[in-house]
Amino acid sequence: MQDSTTTFADYGLHPDIVRGLADTGITHPFPIQAMTLPVAMSRHDIIGQAKTGTGKTLGFGLPLLHNVVAPGDEGFEQLPGKGAPQALVVAPTRELAVQVSGDLSKAGVHRGIRVLTIYGGRAYEPQIEALQRGVEVVVGTPGRLLDLAAKGHLSLAHARTVVLDEADEMLDLGFLPDVEKLLALTPAGRHTMLFSATMPGAVVALARQYMTQPTHIRAVSEDGEGRTVAATEQFVYRAHALDKVEMVARILQAEGRGRTIIFTRTKRTAAKVADELADRGFAAAAIHGDLGQGAREQALRAFRNDKVDVLVATDVAARGIDVEAVTHVINYQCPEDEKTYLHRIGRTGRAGATGVAVTFVDWDDMPRWGLINKALDLGYPEPEETYSSSPHLYEQLDIPEGTRGMLPRSARTHAGLAAETLEDLGGREPRHGSGRGGGRGQAGRGQGAGRRGRSGRPGHGSAPKEESAQTTGGSGGQGRRRRRRTTRVRGTGQGD
């Protein structure tokens, strides 16, 4: 809940930063921001523990921007290492890095602060050229940051502010050793801020080793109540695998349903679900690890720009998607554990908004769900057996009576994935040559540049059928033709 009386100007932030926030309609801080700003502005180290979706990006981002010496500021020309990064933000995923970088760029626009996003999947040259021109803030993922540092293109010797965002996720992905290498490249007297939804022992040990008398800020209640965002209404159903797509198609026609994210455990399922929804008339796109970076960014842009309103994603995207007006999250497959559950449903009910989270639990997943339910005390030890025709599904989720699993043509109002430009990023090809959009799941049907994916065609399925030849989409959607028989190796069903 926002403080309706205190504004960002009250914290002594640079007036141009306050103006940049006001341009985007942000004037009052959320609780995590109100707790973080006074401590961070005085450059004390911080350990911030907050649920996802509470606004912590600006909690660390605004003090970071305030303490940067921007081009045109007094003393900029005299800076040692002028043009070298003065601040570093390390994020576990590409999507999160892009989101954080975007927020910082908007807030710092009137100060002329140059923010560079560095991550893999893109060509090295544009990132190297930007570093040579000079930047004030670098936001990136550990692997590419270390690559550029090792080759002498990135100097962190003047990074006086360092932020580790989503530290628990970096632990899960095995990035902590890389994070330690990055910290060793920064000055000893740096200002360090670490943010994490949970505090595993390894994250605590990292903080003790690399931080100086940090202040621990917790934006959750002392008794742990509300570990899930309170504004998110949660429903859990025991569903049959063969009926799930039909259930999803009806849920997507619920009253007041806006942008929706559907989470799956595997890449193959994400591609398959996106295609099946497209066949039913929905504007759906998929994002998963077998897509090139260009295709992943295309899907996210289409989602943000409302050209598609359904995004089917594996957990690789769970930490990085921060899109306004996500009203529904659907766990198509049961999450692996309670932490994954929290990260998934945290895509809705963000920053004071309300949302709906729906979880499907297969019969085989009941033991796993039992552990999640117990850990979070959700009150759903035995989810109700539910089918697409169950009256309680319609009643609980405000689905109009008579709704079926095909979207009426009159409701097909989104442009589709093909309406969003697919950029050539110059990076490596995806591992399995998957192209754009949803792919075809079992057949691994990719789409290269200029082709219209089944899950991304205009008008939700109004385009003519495409040729059946296979293409391997590189990062920019360009690819070589492959013989049809090679598609048997695609869509292995492995997670990201």
Could you give the C-alpha distances from 447 to 453, 454, 466, 475, in angstroms and in order?
Answer: 6, 9, 10, 12
The pLDDT value given to residue 294: 86
User: Which residues does the chain have with pLDDT short of 50?
Assistant: 221-227, 429-496
Q: Give the span between the Cα atoms of 372 and 204, in whole angstroms.
A: 23
pLDDT digits (tens, 9 = 90+) for 9-21: 999 999 999 999 9
The pLDDT value given to residue 297: 87
pLDDT digits (tens, 9 = 90+) for 107-157: 999 999 999 999 998 899 999 999 999 999 999 999 999 999 999 999 999
Assign 3-class secondary structure to the chain: CCCCCCCHHHHCCCHHHHHHHHHCCCCCCCHHHHHHHHHHHCCCCEEEECCCCCCHHHHHHHHHHHCCCCCCCCCCCCCCCCCCCCEEEECCCHHHHHHHHHHHHHHCHHHCCCEEEECCCCCHHHHHHHHHHCCCEEEECHHHHHHHHHCCCCCCCCCCEEEECCHHHHHHCCCHHHHHHHHHCCCCCCEEEEEECCCCHHHHHHHHHHCCCCEEEECCCCCCCCCCCCCEEEEEEECCHHHHHHHHHHHCCCCCCCEEEEECCCHHHHHHHHHHHHHCCCCEEEECCCECHHHHHHHHHHHHCCCCCEEEECHHHCCCCCCCCEEEEEECCCCCCHHHHHHHHCCCCCCCCCEEEEEEECHHHHHHHHHHHHHHCCCCCCCEECCCCCHHHHHHCCCCCCCCCCCCHHHCCCCCHHHCCCCCCCCCCCCCCECCCCCCHHHCCCCCCCCCCCCCCHHHCCCCCCCCCEECCCCCCCCCEECHHHHHHCCCCCCC
Residue 329: name the closest of 185, 340, 494, 472 by CA: 340
Residue 262: name the closest of 301, 317, 339, 338 by CA: 317
CB 34 within 8 Å of CB 8? no
Task: Find where tokens 């929804």 sit.
Answer: 277
Q: Give the span between the Cα atoms of 488 and 484, in whole angstroms.
A: 8
Kindly report the pTM of this predicted structure. Answer: 0.71
The pLDDT value given to residue 349: 79
The pLDDT value given to residue 197: 79
Domains of the chain: residue spans and CATH: 8-218 (3.40.50.300), 232-489 (3.40.50.300)
Sign of the CA dihedral running 459, 465, 471, 472:
positive
The pLDDT value given to residue 95: 85
Residue 19: name the closest of 76, 68, 62 by CA: 62
The phi, psi pair for 2, rounded to 5°, reads -80, 150
CB 298 within 8 Å of CB 421? yes
Query: What is the C-alpha R_g of the chain?
Result: 23
Task: Please give the structure tokens belonging to residue 132.
Answer: 């040579």
CB 33 within 8 Å of CB 21? no
The pLDDT value given to residue 220: 58
